[in-house]
Structure 1
Amino acid sequence: MEALAIAAPDAPAIICDDGALTRGDFDKSANRLARAYAARGLGFGDRATITLPNCVDFFVACLAVWRLGAVPNPVSNRLAAPERRAIVARAQPKLIIGADSDDSGVSCIPVGFEPSDDLSDAPLPDQIPPNERAMASGGSTGLPKLIVASNPAVYDENFASAIFKAKRAVLVPGPLYHAAPWSSAWQALFAGCMVVSMERFDARRTLELVEKHSVDRLGLVPTMMHRIWRLPAEERQAFDVSSLEFVMTGGAPCPAWLMRNWIDWLGADVMHEAFGPSERIGGTFITGREWLEHPGSVGTPVGGAKIKILDDDGHEAPAGTMGEIYMMPAGGPGSTYQYVGAQAQTTDDGWESVGDMGYLDADGYLYLGDRRSDMILSAGRNIYPAEIEAVLDAFVGVASSAIIGLPDDDLGQAIHAIIECANDLEPAALRDHVASNLVHYKIPSTFEFVRERLRDDAGKLRRAALRKARTETDNP
């Protein structure tokens, strides 16, 4: 970042809802803030929990932490106090940035903190942090765990060049405490791009920002794609999005109907999809043109990683058979991360799974199911929620949906559909829609309609929490 600032100090670096920074201001602000953090005891190898929204201060705080050789631990600023305490207990940070106080006794830096003007903004001695980041898990599987990247905080030009080099503007609408938005934002910044971010995703505003800043790189989770697609056609078409050259989706299975509509809208050369866990043990990638040949796929392995599918007995599953996805990173077992507060799920020879289900076709293309923990066992049949949710979400008026299994004396688990909608829907019409698209045993037994959002800004569902709320209500 220092080299970029020297080369073009007045070039725009960051644009957020709360302001903007040039490269030069970004560089100097991070130096001054790093000295303030050092005065609070932050040093090489320490962790700093950053609980700020997507904003200018988030970027400056992360760069300041790195410049001390310390490791950022980004978390949501909307966590409840017990949730944040659990993460802090795992991370053991030296500093919490974005909090007025914390009962853990860790030193806190409040929102809006301004370092003293007496502190120098001159360059600091180079220190390479031993870990690029320490991400907290999404919490969907219970208590939080920390995913500590094994790689040091060093910019990988070869990784970024294929997507970000010499491009104009990258829009990052997702929360920066999640792996994909984090990686996109920093790789783009260090490649010399201008990064545009927003505090909370909004479908219309996303299109406004694309037009305003001539954005040519955009990353979206399927939930965001769905909300944009559900805008009235005349509203969506009112914006000039012709600058877009590369749109990437990932983070969850993207329904085939949704991907196909986006390809029809923006073009097969623009749309791409990727899959890979935060642990970086492997990943896949597919272009829009490939997707048309393999609809529903998330692509083939990239970066030298390997993928195989294992059945319940630990045997490799044949093509087309659903099983658990196991990966092997290019650097071998244990080369990409370490857990704090969890144990990796590995085979005897080092292949690793994070619980995702899927299958490979005869050409080696991967298709996603659900997480193993989300699978519903009903009347002896394996039910994958994502398949039903894709059908529900295609119904006009459905903003989002969640499928969970509820205890049932007869079936073991009954399929329960939670439907997020802005206006009242006709349950019979929705049921008919599902029945015309799914076999009878995949049709939900019950439907529930809600107004509140089911998914967070990263498109993640808290199925365990949804299930718990409904089972505790039924069994006080």
Structure 2
Amino acid sequence: MSGDVIVGDRIRGRAELLDRAARLASAMAAAGVGAGDAVALLLRNDFAVLEANLAVRRLDAYGVPINWHWHPTEIGYVLRDATPRLLIGHADLLDGLGAHIPEGLRVIAVGGSGEQPDYDDWIAAHEPHEGHGNGLGSSMVYTSGTTGKPKAVRRLPATGEESAQRARVLAVIHDTAPGNVALVTGPLYHLFSQAILMATFAAGGTVVVMERFDPEDCLRLIEQHHVTHGALVPTLFVRLLRLPEEVKGRYDLSTLRHVVHSGAPCAPEVKRAMLNWWGPVLYETYGSTETGVVTKISPREWLARPGSVGRPVLTGEVRIRGEDGQWTEAGRTGDVYLRIHGTPDFTFHGDPEKRAAVEYDGLITCGDMGWLDEEGYLFLCDRRADMVLSGGVNIYPAEVEAALLEHPAVSDCAVFGVPDSEYGEVLVAYLQSDEALIPDEVTAFLRGRIAGYKIPRHLVVGASLPREETGKILKRRLRESFLAGEARETGAY
């Protein structure tokens, strides 16, 4: 089983996957894909994701993973902006695009029988590619467009040492080793999930890929395949914790050793509950599409410093830049700047000015704010874009959200600012709850935990909150709904 990849009830061995990837590289080359070219990937969790990523690296090309949950117009924007030589996608996803596929773009369908060439037939018609690439290929990833169009983070061509350093960082982050059995729980168009797939396969481990996440199925797969490693976003922890106690106790999870979580903040009480259930196996990481993962914290370290996302690994560096534009000392809040030195650099595709704007003194900001303690552990406050200025005072919604999540009837929440004629901005809180919440009781609950000026002026209760697959709440959608007056129909206070 070592080195296999398992998707549902299908298994492909390492030798077969490498052979298919080499044949796919030949097919791509015959279609005109060369060094520096882009190949768009509109793929669900399947073997094709791994094969395509291995193939583009042989050609020093770029894989462009596309979030297939996006609207066809958003996908069409990516296909025009990235100017790929080739689009590989699952047939049903391609069928929904229609005229959004640029004219002249060659399309290969996985599992289809329509007008496009079939992926498996296309691979079988070519001999394995003999080259292995020069380490120049990588990825071009479009991050979710929270303020307009998605932006593309494109890795620059890497030297051999930069590629080796990137591999060393991934090995540390995911604790990779030949005997590992890793479970992929999230969509492979996201680098968080893709990283553990690629790193585990490269190290000779076995990878079990969930086609879609189901909490009990996750437990079943851990027991069935003796899973040792994994990667989850915090929203999946919440879904797991909601399982009935008899279901939780039904499965043997004793093989778990190292489970990474990242992608969104994790409420402290959620993490403690998971640690009490799964044991000391949860390792939190922090970084971004631009920087890659930079910090990591072990269960033991986190219990001593709850709320921290860790210290830099290997050649990583984290510094805090204050409002005066200078680096601050420990304990002061400011913009987080970070980097893993010696790994491949990046640019924003078609926007070098934006790339220059996020760098200072050799480090990169992702828009987060936070502070460092005396030992160099990083604590995050919030996104700068989410910070609210109310009555001349800075308020970090993440702090208010953490207080709300301590309420036993609040299962999820989102806090953001909206314009106000008197204070400039005031806070709105969307609460997910299965119970009827009384506004005065929620306010009284908060008064015992945060300052009065941080208490939301408006509360909205709903059955669920919109989230990306990575677990991030779509606050823009909630803000637009509130400002349009739609929220009052769902119980605004």
In the superposition, relative to structure 1, how do residues 50 and 447 fare at CA in structure 2: closer, same or farther (>3 Å)? same
Letter in 2 for 1:308: R
Mapped partners of 1:59, 1:348: distance in 2: 35
Mapped partners of 2:363, 2:167: distance in 1: 28
Mapped partners of 1:420, 1:52: distance in 2: 31
Aligned to 1:31: 22
Aligned to 1:7: none
Q: Which of 296, 307, 318 is matched with 1:296 structurally?
A: 307
Q: Judge which range, 102-111 or 212-221, deviates more.
A: 102-111
Deviations 1:270-324 (A, max 9, x none): 2211111111266111111111222211111222122211122212233222211
**Deviation of the 1:160 alpha carbon:** 4.7
Q: Which of 220, 227, 232 is matched with 1:208 structurally?
A: 220
Letter in 2 for 1:147: V
Aligned to 1:62: 53
Mapped partners of 2:71, 2:380: distance in 1: 32
Aligned to 1:95: 86
Deviations 1:20-52 (A, max 9, x none): 311122123223333333343323321011111
Letter in 2 for 1:104: P
Q: Which of 65, 71, 90 is matched with 1:80 structurally?
A: 71
Aligned to 2:329: 318
Q: Which of 330, 335, 360 is matched with 2:341 structurally?
A: 330
Q: Which of 11, 17, 22 is matched with 1:20 structurally?
A: 11
Aligned residues: 462
Mapped partners of 2:176, 2:376: distance in 1: 27
On the 8 A contact 2:21/2:54 being kept in 1, the answer is yes
On the 8 A contact 1:250/1:274 being kept in 2, the answer is yes
Alignment of 1:200-349 (within 5 A): 200-268=212-280, 270-280=281-291, 283-331=294-342, 336-342=345-351, 343-344=354-355, 345-346=357-358, 349=361
Q: Is 1:447 the counterpart of 2:459 in the alignment?
A: yes
On the 8 A contact 1:200/1:457 being kept in 2, the answer is no
Q: Which of 114, 126, 140 is matched with 1:134 structurally?
A: 140
Q: Is 1:457 the counterpart of 2:469 in the alignment?
A: yes
In the superposition, relative to structure 1, how do residues 161 and 144 fare at CA in structure 2: closer, same or farther (>3 Å)? closer
Aligned to 1:4: none
On the 8 A contact 1:145/1:341 being kept in 2, the answer is no
Deviations 1:206-239 (A, max 9, x none): 2222112111101122222222223233322322
Mapped partners of 2:417, 2:123: distance in 1: 57
Letter in 1 for 2:204: G
Mapped partners of 1:394, 1:200: distance in 2: 29
On the 8 A contact 2:169/2:314 being kept in 1, the answer is no
**Deviation of the 1:150 alpha carbon:** 2.8
**Deviation of the 1:73 alpha carbon:** 0.6
Q: Judge which range, 108-117 or 296-305, deviates more.
A: 108-117
RMSD over equivalenced CA pairs, Å: 2.6
Q: Judge which range, 207-216 or 406-415, deviates more.
A: 406-415
Alignment of 1:424-435 (within 5 A): 424-428=435-439, 430-435=442-447
Letter in 1 for 2:52: A
**Deviation of the 1:60 alpha carbon:** 2.3
Letter in 1 for 2:102: S
Q: Which residues of structure 2 form unaligned runs of 5+?
A: 112-117, 488-493
On the 8 A contact 2:297/2:309 being kept in 1, the answer is yes
In the superposition, relative to structure 1, how do residues 129 and 44 fare at CA in structure 2: closer, same or farther (>3 Å)? farther
On the 8 A contact 1:223/1:400 being kept in 2, the answer is no
TM-score, normalising length: structure 2: 0.86
Letter in 2 for 1:271: L
Alignment of 1:123-162 (within 5 A): 123-128=129-134, 130-150=136-156, 152=158, 158-162=168-172
**Deviation of the 1:62 alpha carbon:** 2.4
Q: Which of 382, 385, 392 is matched with 2:404 structurally?
A: 392
**Deviation of the 1:63 alpha carbon:** 2.4
Aligned to 1:41: 32
In the superposition, relative to structure 1, how do residues 438 and 315 fare at CA in structure 2: closer, same or farther (>3 Å)? same
**Deviation of the 1:426 alpha carbon:** 2.5
Mapped partners of 1:78, 1:120: distance in 2: 32
Q: Which residues of structure 1 form unaligned runs of 5+?
A: 1-9
**Deviation of the 1:356 alpha carbon:** 0.8
Corresponding residue SS for 2:178: coil
Q: Judge which range, 434-443 or 284-293, deviates more.
A: 434-443
**Deviation of the 1:394 alpha carbon:** 3.9
Mapped partners of 1:151, 1:260: distance in 2: 41
**Deviation of the 1:201 alpha carbon:** 2.5
In the superposition, relative to structure 1, how do residues 120 and 104 fare at CA in structure 2: closer, same or farther (>3 Å)? closer
Mapped partners of 2:406, 2:238: distance in 1: 9
In the superposition, relative to structure 1, how do residues 347 and 177 fare at CA in structure 2: closer, same or farther (>3 Å)? closer
**Deviation of the 1:359 alpha carbon:** 0.4
On the 8 A contact 1:17/1:55 being kept in 2, the answer is no
Q: Judge which range, 391-400 or 436-445, deviates more.
A: 391-400
**Deviation of the 1:189 alpha carbon:** 0.7
Letter in 2 for 1:364: G
On the 8 A contact 1:166/1:193 being kept in 2, the answer is yes
Mapped partners of 2:387, 2:65: distance in 1: 29
Aligned to 2:102: 104
Q: Is 1:379 the counterpart of 2:378 in the alignment?
A: no
Mapped partners of 2:407, 2:321: distance in 1: 34
